[in-house]
């Protein structure tokens, strides 16, 4: 089995890409310096995947909200015990997360890498669900849902998505609701597991200090062949409009929290060039070196510890967002709207464009020094059909007119403001 060698002509970094006979895509990014290694074993399966159609079936199926997150919880339990305890026994630090479009199982270590990798590949491929264990987990997840409902940062974001999207499942909480998780059964968990945890729908990433040949030897022993069943995500048609432009809620906070942004219907996923262009526009507009940020600080409408901006996107959804704490969210958003309108009308100054490009390029180079950053970047790129080295090239080669074109996403009639005010 010969790998495809993917090399960055700008940085000299390289990644070995394997298509294992089991169907799994394996990405190996060795680093000679350093002692830590980061490993991610992930499935292209997230909270938005509540309706899907297998390639060997004629009709799509709808399942309860929150099942991807529930499945992540349950996989750590098996007849052999708790996977966290197994990782602790070899000195590895393990975790997992369910996003909107993927579920990932992660560990980092400085020693006993290959034993840790065996544990990871073993428990993720060994589902064990019973009526008793599934019922026990229901109470734990219900408490987690309640905990998030009490977090202002989560509530302002959740309300924002519900105000922006009419039908797309990104508007629903990733963990589901108290009502939806009551419908989750062992049979449904096995059904979703065997659909989405098919190795043809998964990827393994290893970044840091390791021997690629030994990693592939472990894969050869541990990976279980899967039938080549593919899965198609099924989403309802989403209107271009937003549900409502403003949503407000009161919680126990000392200062108001806001989330503001623009719905972008040009997706669902961008090329590396388009992604680089949008990120440059947001950097020009709202970074801590931008005139907008300085005006917000001078007016006392933002603080440098909480103000943030990002492009949040996935299958069938995309939005450019700004948020943080503010004593007057509506005044802060008025400044953001004004700057967005100015950029859409006048374009971007070349000096600002070059500054933003250099800043983002520097962030990329810094990320290549961190095994954790590399691993997360590789898994995200794999699941989105992108290439992290191609993104670096696209960013370096981006032209001003390509960035200016992306200012069209700032449409006032597709904007939403979500606010959490003090009780």
Task: Give me the torsion for CA of 227, 232, 233, 235, rounded to 10°.
Answer: -150
Q: Which residues pair with 420 in a beta bridge?
A: 249, 257
Q: How many helices (H) and strands (E) does the chain have?
A: 15, 17
Query: Any catalytic annotation for residue 397?
Result: no
Q: Could you tell me if 174 and 31 are in contact, meaning their C-beta atoms sit under 8 angstroms apart?
A: no
Distance of CA 183 to the CA centre of its chain: 26
Distance of CA 285 to the CA centre of its chain: 23
| Residue 386 DSSP SS3 | coil
Q: How many CB atoms lie within 10 A of CB 385?
A: 8
Q: Which of 32, 57, 59, 72 is an active site residue?
A: 72
Residue 130 corresponds to which tokens in the numbers above? 């019973």
Phi then psi for residue 12, to 5 deg, are 85, -10
Phi then psi for residue 361, to 5 deg, are -65, -40
The Cα–Cα gap between 345 and 84 comes to 54
| Residue 209 DSSP SS3 | coil
CA-CA-CA-CA torsion sign (355, 356, 361, 364): positive
The Cα–Cα gap between 22 and 19 comes to 8
The angle formed by the CA atoms of residues 187, 101 and 376, to the nearest 5 degrees, is 120
Q: How many CB atoms lie within 10 A of CB 212?
A: 15
Q: Which residues pair with 82 in a beta bridge?
A: 77
The residues that are catalytic are 72
């Amino acid at each position: 089995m010969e790998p495809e060698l993917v090399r960055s002509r700008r940085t000299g970094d390289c990644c070995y890409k394997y298509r294992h006979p089991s169907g799994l895509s394996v990405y190996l990014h060795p680093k000679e310096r350093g002692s830590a290694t980061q490993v991610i074993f992930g499935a292209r399966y997230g909270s938005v995947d509540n309706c899907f159609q297998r390639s060997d079936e004629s009709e799509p199926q709808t399942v309860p909200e929150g099942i991807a997150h529930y499945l992540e919880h349950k996989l750590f339990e098996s007849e052999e015990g708790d996977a966290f305890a197994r990782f602790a026994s070899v000195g590895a630090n393990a975790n997992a997360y369910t996003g909107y479009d993927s579920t990932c199982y992660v560990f980092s270590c400085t020693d006993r890498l290959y034993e840790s990798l065996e544990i990871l590949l073993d428990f993720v491929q060994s589902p064990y669900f019973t009526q008793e264990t599934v019922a026990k987990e229901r109470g734990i997840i219900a408490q987690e849902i309640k905990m998030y409902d009490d977090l202002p940062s989560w509530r302002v974001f959740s309300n924002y998505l519900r105000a922006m999207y009419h039908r797309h499942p990104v508007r629903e909480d990733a963990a589901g609701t108290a009502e939806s998780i009551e419908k989750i059964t062992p049979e449904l968990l096995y059904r979703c597991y065997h659909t989405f945890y098919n190795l043809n729908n998964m990827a393994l990433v290893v970044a840091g200090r390791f021997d690629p040949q030994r990693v592939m030897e472990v894969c050869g022993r541990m990976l279980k062949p899967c039938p080549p069943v593919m899965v198609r995500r099924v989403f309802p048609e989403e209107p271009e409009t937003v549900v409502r432009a403003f949503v407000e809620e009161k919680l126990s906070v000392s200062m108001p929290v806001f989330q503001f942004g623009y719905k972008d219907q040009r997706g669902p996923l961008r090329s590396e060039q388009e992604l680089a262009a949008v990120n440059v526009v947001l950097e020009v507009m709202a970074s801590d070196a931008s005139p907008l940020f300085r005006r917000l600080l001078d007016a006392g409408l933002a603080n440098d510890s909480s103000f943030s901006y990002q492009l949040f996107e996935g299958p069938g959804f995309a939005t450019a967002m700004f948020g943080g704490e503010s004593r007057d969210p509506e005044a802060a958003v008025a400044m953001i709207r004004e700057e967005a309108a100015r950029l859409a009308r006048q374009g971007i100054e070349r000096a600002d464009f070059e500054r933003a490009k250099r800043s983002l390029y520097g962030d990329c180079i810094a990320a290549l020094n961190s095994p954790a950053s590399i691993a997360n970047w590789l898994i995200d790129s794999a699941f989105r059909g992108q290439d992290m080295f191609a993104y670096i090239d696209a960013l370096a080669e981006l032209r001003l007119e390509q960035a200016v074109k992306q200012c069209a996403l700032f449409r006032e009639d597709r904007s939403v403001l979500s606010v959490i005010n003090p009780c």
